[in-house]
């Protein structure tokens, strides 16, 4: 309320106030949000990230957002500015500032050119795992997607299973093996794995894109599979293979009241959805929606929301399931906190099929990030 009613000249003063307020509102309306898009990264999923970022640049509403590219080279070097990846190929993006890691943190805190929000579009380790999210927390800048804890928990297949189990959510029988346990007694580990029943899947705990994963059908294949997985992590998960596997995925969007999309299905071109089937051999199919009964579809949506909450997700995640195609038994496989985000990726396509087009999805994610940041800002940081 203005103080106009308190003075004789209040009318004029009030009028001025109102004019100033209108002008202010106009400034607020025309000021575009500066959205830093961090992409690339030190991971095997560098190229997927570049493709995801290119789609985001193409679809961010230019009347409302100014998109600022922030590229992480495979070497780990940060590059602020330059052209968006839609313009140049991944290998050619111009360098304008090679000291950008510090610049990003500094611009978030003090610069008049500060970024209003960051959209990290990094898949796999050093991006999807909470490391970049930690940097953004320190810089006190809002960012899209899951926070540090959810990102780290969603990256670790062993921790994730523990969280699912603690909520009574369905997971496959599995064991977790640390490198020192394997070195101390590989025979005992092999015995425990056999009890799960072959085939088993052997996976590094913290990775993605099926890198380092083997399907083991015979005892002789077990040791090489374990050794391969230990090249990528000191922790390995061995899990029972789901027979007649169907792979169902749901997209989740929201903070405190998350929603789940209709379920989709992957039909891999190979024996399982390995690295080749994901990125090299184009024969894998996405079925949207997945051919499920209405009852099955609603069960997947319910479980997707529960899984998202189990890892304390915020913003977005894609929740992946394994279903026994014969018995219909459902198992939670994993939560991907930064799923592929190209216009032909499962996450945006599931939302499109559920009534949220790609540009609207970007708006929603930005709004959710601002909401979560504001909530955190309102917390007390001192005890007096
Ligand atoms: N327990 C399992 N039963 C059957 N297939 C599995 C099992 N675990 C993994 N797979 C197959 O391996 C693929 C990759 O495993 P996943 O755990 O999703 O790893 P990533 O995080 O690398 O995607 C899955 O998409 C699926 O095709
Ligand atoms: Mg997967």
Ligand lying nearest the CA atom of residue 213:
1
Give the chain's domains with CATH numbers: 32-143 (3.40.50.20), 173-240 (3.30.1490.20), 243-373 (3.30.470.20)
pLDDT band at 19 (very low <50, low <70, confident <90, very high): low
Cα separation of 310 and 167, whole Å? Answer: 7
Report CA(170)–ligand 1 centroid distance (Å): 15
pLDDT in tens, 299-355: 999 999 999 999 999 999 999 999 999 999 999 999 999 999 998 899 999 999 999
Q: How far is the CA of 342 from the centre of ligand 1 (A)?
A: 21
Out of 156, 249, 318, 322, give the residue to mutate to test ligand 1, the one with the largest number of ligand atoms within 8 Å of its CB.
322
pLDDT tens by residue, 138-189: 999 999 999 999 999 999 999 999 999 999 999 999 999 999 999 999 999 9
Q: How crowded is the C-beta side of 252, counted as CA atoms within 13 Å? A: 34
pTM (global) more than 0.85: yes
Among 201, 242, 321, which is best to mutate for testing ligand 1, by the most ligand atoms less than 8 A from CB?
201
3-state SS, one letter per residue, for the chain? CCCHHHCCCHHHHHHHHHHHHHHHHHHHHHCCEEEEEEEECCCCCHHHHHHHHHHHHHHCCCCCEEEEEEEECCCCCEEECCCCCCCCCHHHCCCCCCCHHHHHHHHHHCCCCCCCEEEEECCCCCCCCCHHHHHHHHCCCCECCCCHHHHHHHHCHHHHHHHHHHCCCCCCCEEEEEHHHHHHCHHHHHHHHHHHCCCEEEEECCCCCCCCCEEECCHHHHHHHHHHHHHHCCEEEEEECCCCEEEEEEEEEECCCCEECCCEEEECCCCCCCHHHHHHCCCCEEECCCCCCHHHHHHHHHHHHHHHHHCCCCEEEEEEEEEECCCCCEEEEEEECCCCCCCCCHHHHHHHHCCCCHHHHHHHHHHHHHHHHHHHHCCCCCCC
What confidence tens digit (pLDDT) does each residue in 199-238 have? 999 999 998 788 899 999 999 999 999 999 999 999 999 9
| Percent of the chain at pLDDT exceeding 70 | 85
Q: How far is the CA of 109 from the centre of ligand 1 (A)?
A: 41
Ligand 1 centroid distance, CA of 90 (Å)? 28
Using the predicted structure, report yes or no on whether residue 31 has a pLDDT greater than 90: no
> Please, are residues 39 and 72 in contact by the beta-carbon 8 Å criterion?
yes
List ligand 1's pocket residues with C-beta within 6 A: 172, 201, 203, 207-210, 213, 239, 241-242, 245, 247, 268, 272-273, 320, 322, 333-334
Q: Whose CA is nearest to atom 16 of ligand 1?
A: 210
Instruction: Judge residue 165's burial from the number of C-beta atoms within 10 Å of its C-beta, 0-12 exposed, 13-18 middle, 19 or more buried.
Output: middle
Nearest CA to ligand 1 atom 7: 241
Closest to 301 measured CA to CA, from 268, 336, 350: 350
| Ligand 1 atom closest to 268 (CA) | 27
**Which residues are 214's β-sheet partners?**
202
- Residue 299, both tokens: 């069960």
Cα 249 to middle of ligand 2, angstroms: 10
What number is the average pLDDT over the span 44-67?
Answer: 92
How remote is the CA of residue 139 from the centroid of ligand 1, in Å? 35
* Tokens of residue 107, six digits: 């611009």
Find the 259 Cα to ligand 1 centroid distance in Å: 24
Q: Give the number of other Cβ atoms within 10 Å of residue 372's Cβ.
A: 20
Whose atoms come closest to the Cα of 272: which ligand?
1
The Cα–Cα gap between 81 and 84 comes to: 8
Name the closest-CA residue to atom 19, ligand 1: 210
Q: What is the pLDDT of residue 86?
A: 62
Report pLDDT for 103.
Answer: 52
Provide the token pair at 204: 């590094």
Report CA(3)–ligand 2 centroid distance (Å).
60
């Amino acid at each position: 309320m203005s103080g106009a009613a308190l003075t004789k000249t209040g009318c004029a003063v009030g009028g001025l106030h109102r004019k100033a307020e209108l002008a202010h509102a106009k400034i607020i309306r025309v000021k575009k949000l500066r959205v830093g898009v961090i992409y690339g990264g030190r991971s095997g999923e560098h190229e997927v990230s570049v493709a995801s970022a290119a789609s985001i640049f193409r679809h961010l509403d230019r009347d409302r957002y100014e998109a600022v590219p922030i590229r992480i080279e495979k070497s780990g070097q940060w590059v602020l500015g330059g052209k968006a990846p839609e313009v140049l190929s991944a290998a050619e993006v111009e360098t304008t500032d090679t000291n950008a890691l510090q610049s990003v943190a500094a611009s978030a805190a003090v610069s008049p050119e500060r970024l209003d929000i960051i959209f990290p579009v990094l898949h796999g380790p050093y991006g999807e795992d909470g490391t970049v999210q930690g940097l953004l927390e320190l810089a006190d800048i809002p960012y899209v997607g899951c926070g540090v804890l959810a990102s780290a928990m969603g990256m670790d297949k062993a921790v994730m299973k523990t969280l699912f189990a603690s909520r009574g959510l369905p997971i496959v029988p599995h064991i977790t093996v640390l490198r020192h346990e394997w070195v101390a007694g590989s025979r005992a580990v092999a015995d425990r794995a056999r009890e799960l029943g072959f085939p088993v899947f052997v996976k590094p705990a913290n990775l993605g894109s099926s890198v380092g994963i083997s399907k083991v059908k015979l005892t002789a294949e077990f040791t090489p599979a374990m050794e391969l997985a230990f090249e990528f992590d000191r922790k390995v998960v061995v899990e029972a293979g789901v027979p007649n596997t169907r792979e169902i995925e749901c997209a989740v969007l929201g903070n405190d009241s998350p929603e789940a999309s209709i379920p989709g299905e992957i039909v891999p071109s190979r024996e399982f959805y390995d690295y080749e089937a994901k990125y090299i051999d184009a024969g894998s199919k996405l079925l949207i929606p997945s051919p499920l009964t209405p009852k099955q579809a609603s069960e997947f949506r319910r479980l997707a929301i529960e899984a998202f909450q189990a890892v304390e997700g915020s913003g977005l995640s894609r929740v992946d399931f394994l279903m026994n195609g014969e018995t219909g038994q459902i198992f939670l496989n994993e939560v991907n906190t930064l799923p592929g985000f190209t216009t032909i990726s499962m996450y945006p396509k599931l939302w499109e099929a559920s009534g949220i087009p790609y540009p609207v999805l970007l708006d929603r994610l930005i709004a959710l990030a601002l909401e979560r940041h504001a909530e955190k800002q309102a917390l007390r940081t001192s005890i007096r």
